Chain A
């Protein structure tokens, strides 16, 4: 039987979200029985949802996006690139 600490680690690290079969069932069974871990899991979910909402509720204006798009295309055509850290390749 896995303890609360281990269950919480699996939830917070997304191990639970990606688990299948028996592994997933073990966590679900624990959550069904344990009020505290259930509360913890709900909090993490609510936190994630609030975070997504926070970033989506105030999107940049269409005019701003158009301005950036124009700037990118113009600068790119002019061949002027900002100096930057080496972005590497797509390993």
Chain B
């Protein structure tokens, strides 16, 4: 999925970070090889077309190498790298940067439950086609309805398997905020798929 765990641990080593900081090409190359596929994938997951995702990935690494001197080693290099990626994608998409306090998906979820909190409109049983490629394409379309930070939270969690702590640092949000982002992302996506008839 990403750079191997051993690699991931190696990159935590201050001595390694120092090698990158001093511009050693071998160390820089190792870092690029370990994380470039993951960075490109996350950029695509954030909604950029393949070529734009590749450009953003390249720009992310260049900025990283440019500012690595300011990296104090308090978080993992990957966290720092993804933090830059997130800002680059935001820049690229020029989307609303601030998460809204309210979100229409919250009302949709409200309407699904009775006042006592029991289901009013229960979810329909899962469709077997859910695992088909066609359905995955539908997911891709439905993802468009998500804000960038909802989408990044969802992608980093589901596709890249990052920890809560790491995602919070990357998106610069609290644990509670991340919970809200994931809640809205998943419900928005689920509602969209149900509306599109993926799960009859």
Contacts and interface: CB of A to CB of B under 8 A. Distances in A.
A73 B26 CA distance: 10
A20 interface: no
A44 interface: yes
B131 interface: yes
A55 B155 contact: yes
A36 B180 CA distance: 22
A81 B62 contact: yes
Main secondary structure of the interface of A (DSSP, over half): helix
B117 interface: yes
Contacts of B186: 12, 44, 47-48
Interface in A31-83: 35-37, 39-40, 42-44, 46-57, 59-60, 64-65, 68-69, 71-73, 75-76, 81-82
A6 B37 CA distance: 38
B63 A4 contact: no
Contacts of B93: none
Given A88-B83, A89-B71, A12 B136 contact: no
Contact of A82 (B50, B59, B189): B59
A50 B135 contact: yes
B36 A14 contact: no
Contact of B25 (A8, A60, A73): A73
A16 B14 CA distance: 35
Contacts of A36: 119, 122-123
Identify the 6 closest CB pairs spanning chains A and B, nearest first: A3-B117, A13-B179, A36-B122, A48-B158, A5-B117, A12-B183
Given A54-B140, A65-B40, 15 more contacts: A3-B113, A13-B182, A14-B179, A39-B126, A40-B190, A44-B190, A47-B158, A48-B158, A51-B45, A55-B45, A68-B57, A73-B32, A76-B61, A81-B66, A87-B64
16 contacts: A3-B113, A18-B164, A36-B119, A39-B126, A43-B123, A44-B186, A47-B190, A49-B158, A52-B158, A54-B137, A54-B139, A54-B140, A57-B136, A68-B54, A85-B87, A90-B72
Interface of A: 3-6, 8-9, 12-15, 18, 35-37, 39-40, 42-44, 46-57, 59-60, 64-65, 68-69, 71-73, 75-76, 81-82, 84-85, 87-91
